[in-house]
């Protein structure tokens, strides 16, 4: 199976994260341009259309101009087959980002050079650091006045707790942006803002020792560059591939996505510094991507991507072997049931298309009749196994759901259960009660709006949400515990998840401590397992 190896070795699968407006869409478009997926960046018909076509499928996204869901794109470049996983740019959807990162082998973090690490996005970036995968930083918009470069790097190190290693270094910014200095090659790539829509921007490269450099960038920039290089070589972390692989050191690049400057250099370095898919952990040990058995796990479920079809797509990351359309696989968490994955599709550039085959590293979306849950394993292996699960994030906001039209009970239960299966919300019941008392938990408050909106628009059910003051949730670990006998603080509420597991919610951390004190032997966990 030399072909299988060859195909998998050329795969690179990464997630791209940023604060809204930092330039993620623009950068992605330029990547696609190099891949020849589209000829001119301009031909994606302006950003607005392109975005709506690709990822902003929900009205709420358009209204608020935020991206709520993520999508996947694939393109070829320089012998590589690259999968980009887009992530929502809003912190309220950091859970979704985390799940997407579970499917990625590395991450690219886009930062606006004039803004630095933005408050709202801190959480997203932290989630990224938690995954311990290589993180690359692209500091964008250098054609606008940017913050001091040392300050920018400092901020990333302090805010995110990850060391940085600039691979190149900017010369000026804004109107005074002259280009970037490649620290390894000791050359300056001069900035030109002439070829916005094409990939053949004229690239002028000068060695740092070249006599004409001073004239090109001006004396002030020249002096500053020499000074900064010296400082940098003495102060910054040395490049260490091992630390990059573990996600402890982030290679940093500077550029301007809009004017297509520094994008290809970034892409080239990125491809050199990353690996093809690595083995993944499962309950049966590590699974080798080159294994002939096909295996994948579900990391995202998205409903009603196309309103006309009311479809539901389960996104899977292939972890080993080759997928061929129509193949029979075992759905491990579905009681080892044999199923055929129907309508396998992939996003190529901006289109969805049915695919015939895919390899480890690729993401496929398959039609889901309602059988999949996040974290499920699918495989052709004779001996079924499960990939390591995806942890459930602890919700930080809770609300009681009141359904306004009781005649629509069935639609309501169906809608809310399906949305919960997608992982956007978590639903609970008041302890000892049935589905008549539903409490929803979300990580970000915006998810309440999405829930309300979707129930109305997709299921035709109106609800009212009554916010609860609780912010802390704990899973009860003790197997043999009498929940009725538990005594806590007055704000403590006993709830259960849909599987009947008991949980507690609290208004503050102090109550958590008090409850632990009052109930000897009680064990509480901060994370749930899927
Ligand atoms: P996203 O929300 O992170 O996907 O950001 P977009 O790619 O949509 O970019 C947000 C805005 O910034 C758009 O108006 C872009 O044209 C603009 N933009 C993106 N990259 C650059 C850049 O390098 N320089 C400048 N000046 N503007 C940029």
> DSSP letter string over 500-527?
--EEEEESSHHHHHHHHHHSTT--EESS
Tell how far the Cα of 14 is from the centroid of ligand 1, in angstroms.
20
Indicate whether 485 pLDDT > 50: yes
Of 3-12, 299-308, 361-370, 431-440, the range with the lowest mean pLDDT is 299-308
Tell me which of 26, 55, 170 to substitute to probe ligand 1's pocket, judged by most ligand atoms within 8 Å of the beta carbon.
26
Tell how far the Cα of 74 is from the centroid of ligand 1, in angstroms.
21
Which residue would you say has higher pLDDT here, 68 or 37? Answer: 37
Give the DSSP letter string of 415-447. Answer: HHHHHHHTTSSEEEEETT--TTSEEEEESSTHH
Which residue would you say has higher pLDDT here, 203 or 53? Answer: 203
The per-residue pLDDT for 131 is 83
The per-residue pLDDT for 266 is 96
Tell how far the Cα of 341 is from the centroid of ligand 1, in angstroms.
38
Residue nearest to atom 9 of ligand 1 (CA): 23
Indicate whether 527 pLDDT > 50: yes
The response to whether residue 140 sits with its C-beta less than 6 Å from ligand 1 reads yes
Tell how far the Cα of 92 is from the centroid of ligand 1, in angstroms.
21
Mean pLDDT calculated for residue range 196-210: 73
Indicate whether 327 pLDDT > 70: yes
Domains of the chain: 13-71+94-273 (3.40.50.300), 280-379 (2.40.30.10), 394-529 (3.30.70.3280)
Please give the Cα distance from 260 to 360 (Å, whole number): 31
The response to whether residue 257 sits with its C-beta less than 6 Å from ligand 1 reads yes
The per-residue pLDDT for 37 is 52
- Residue 92 CB contacts under 8 Å (≥ 6 apart), including other chains: 442, 443, 444, 445, 446, 447
Please give the Cα distance from 72 to 322 (Å, whole number): 19
Percent of the chain with pLDDT over 90: 52
Indicate whether 14 pLDDT > 60: yes
Mean pLDDT calculated for residue range 312-317: 86
Measured from the Cβ of residue 448, the count of other Cβ atoms closer than 10 Å reads 20
Indicate whether 349 pLDDT > 50: no
Indicate whether 329 pLDDT > 90: yes
Indicate whether 43 pLDDT > 50: no
The response to whether residue 26 sits with its C-beta less than 6 Å from ligand 1 reads yes
Tell how far the Cα of 47 is from the centroid of ligand 1, in angstroms.
9
Q: What angle do CA 383, 389, 390 make, to 5 degrees?
A: 150
Indicate whether 244 pLDDT > 60: yes
Mean pLDDT calculated for residue range 314-327: 91
Q: 393 falls in which pLDDT band (50, 70, 90)?
A: confident
The per-residue pLDDT for 353 is 65
For the chain, the helix, strand and coil percentages under 3-state DSSP, each to the nearest 5 = 30, 30, 40
The per-residue pLDDT for 53 is 35
Token pair belonging to 521: 């032997």
Which residue would you say has higher pLDDT here, 391 or 169? Answer: 169
Mean pLDDT calculated for residue range 161-189: 94
Q: 370 falls in which pLDDT band (50, 70, 90)?
A: confident
Binding residues for GTP: 18-25, 86-90, 140-143
Tell how far the Cα of 115 is from the centroid of ligand 1, in angstroms.
13
Number of the ligand 1 atom closest to the C-alpha atom of 28: 7
The response to whether residue 25 sits with its C-beta less than 6 Å from ligand 1 reads yes
Token pair belonging to 86: 């887009």
Tell how far the Cα of 21 is from the centroid of ligand 1, in angstroms.
6
The per-residue pLDDT for 50 is 38
The response to whether residue 20 sits with its C-beta less than 6 Å from ligand 1 reads yes
Note whether ipTM > 0.85 here: yes
Of 31-40, 74-83, 98-107, 157-166, the range with the lowest mean pLDDT is 31-40
Mean model confidence pLDDT for the chain: 85
Indicate whether 364 pLDDT > 70: yes
The response to whether residue 143 sits with its C-beta less than 6 Å from ligand 1 reads yes
The per-residue pLDDT for 390 is 82
Indicate whether 520 pLDDT > 80: yes
Mean pLDDT calculated for residue range 368-381: 90
The per-residue pLDDT for 152 is 96
Number of the ligand 1 atom closest to the C-alpha atom of 29: 7
Give the DSSP letter string of 57-98. Answer: -SHHHHHHT---S--EEEEEETTEEEEEEE--SSGGGHHHHH
Measured from the Cβ of residue 247, the count of other Cβ atoms closer than 10 Å reads 18
The response to whether residue 22 sits with its C-beta less than 6 Å from ligand 1 reads yes
The response to whether residue 67 sits with its C-beta less than 6 Å from ligand 1 reads no
Of 165-174, 186-195, 268-277, 450-459, the range with the lowest mean pLDDT is 186-195
The response to whether residue 19 sits with its C-beta less than 6 Å from ligand 1 reads no
Indicate whether 67 pLDDT > 50: no
The response to whether residue 47 sits with its C-beta less than 6 Å from ligand 1 reads yes
Mean pLDDT calculated for residue range 505-519: 95
Tell me which of 23, 110, 113 to substitute to probe ligand 1's pocket, judged by most ligand atoms within 8 Å of the beta carbon.
23
Indicate whether 290 pLDDT > 90: yes
Percent of the chain with pLDDT over 70: 86
The response to whether residue 144 sits with its C-beta less than 6 Å from ligand 1 reads yes
Indicate whether 57 pLDDT > 90: no
The response to whether residue 70 sits with its C-beta less than 6 Å from ligand 1 reads no
Tell how far the Cα of 4 is from the centroid of ligand 1, in angstroms.
38
């Amino acid at each position: 199976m030399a072909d299988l190896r060859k195909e998998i070795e050329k795969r690179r699968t990464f997630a791209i994260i940023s604060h809204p407006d930092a330039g993620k869409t623009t950068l992605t478009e330029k990547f696609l341009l190099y891949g020849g997926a589209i000829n001119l960046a301009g031909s994606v018909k302006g950003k607005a259309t392109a975005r709506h076509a690709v990822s902003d499928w929900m009205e709420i996204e358009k209204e608020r101009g935020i991206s709520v869901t993520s999508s996947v794109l694939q393109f070829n470049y320089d012998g590589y087959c690259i999968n980009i996983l887009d992530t929502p740019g809003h912190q309220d959807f950091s859970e979704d980002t985390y799940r997407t990162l579970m499917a990625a082998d590395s991450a690219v973090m886009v930062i606006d050079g004039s803004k630095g690490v933005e408050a709202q996005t801190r959480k997203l970036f932290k989630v990224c650091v938690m995954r311990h995968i290589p993180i690359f930083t692209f500091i964008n918009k250098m054609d606008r006045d940017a913050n001091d470069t040392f300050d920018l790097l400092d901020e990333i190190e302090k805010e995110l707790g990850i060391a940085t290693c600039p691979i190149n270094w900017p010369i000026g910014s804004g109107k005074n942006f002259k280009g970037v200095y490649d620290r390894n090659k000791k050359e300056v790539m001069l900035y030109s803002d002439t070829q916005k829509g094409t990939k053949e921007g004229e690239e002028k490269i000068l060695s740092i020792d070249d006599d004409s450099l001073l004239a090109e960038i001006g004396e002030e920039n020249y002096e500053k560059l020499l000074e900064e290089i010296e400082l940098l070589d003495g102060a910054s972390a040395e490049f260490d591939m091992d630390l990059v692989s573990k996600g402890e050191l982030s290679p940093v690049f500077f550029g301007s996505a809009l004017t297509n400057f520094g994008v290809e250099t970034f892409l080239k370095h990125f491809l050199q510094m990353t690996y093809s898919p690595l083995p993944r952990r499962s309950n049966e040990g590590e699974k080798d991507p080159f294994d002939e058995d096909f295996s994948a796990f579900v990391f995202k479920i998205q409903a009603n991507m196309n309103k006309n079809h009311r479809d539901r797509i389960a996104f899977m990351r292939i972890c080993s072997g080759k997928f061929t359309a129509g193949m029979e696989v075992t759905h491990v968490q579905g009681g080892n049931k044999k199923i055929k994955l129907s309508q396998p599709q992939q996003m190529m550039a901006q289109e969805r298309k049915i695919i015939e085959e895919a390899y480890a590293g690729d993401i496929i979306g398959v039609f889901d009749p309602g059988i999949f849950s996040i974290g499920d394993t699918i495989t052709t292996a004779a001996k079924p196994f499960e990939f390591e699960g995806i942890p459930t994030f602890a919700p930080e906001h809770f609300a009681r759901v009141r359904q306004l039209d009781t005649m629509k009970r069935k639609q309501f239960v169906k809608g809310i259960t399906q949305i919960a299966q997608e992982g956007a919300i978590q639903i609970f019941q008041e302890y000892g009660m049935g589905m008549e008392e539903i409490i929803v938990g979300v990580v970000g408050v915006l998810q309440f709006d999405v829930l309300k909106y979707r129930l109305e628009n997709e299921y035709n059910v109106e609800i009212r949400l009554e916010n609860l003051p609780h912010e802390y949730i704990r899973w009860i670990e003790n197997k043999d515990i009498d929940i009725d006998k538990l005594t806590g603080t007055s704000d403590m509420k006993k709830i259960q998840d849909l599987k009947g597991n008991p949980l507690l919610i609290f208004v503050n951390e102090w109550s958590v401590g008090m409850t632990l004190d009052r109930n000897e032997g009680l064990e509480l966990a901060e994370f749930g397992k899927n």
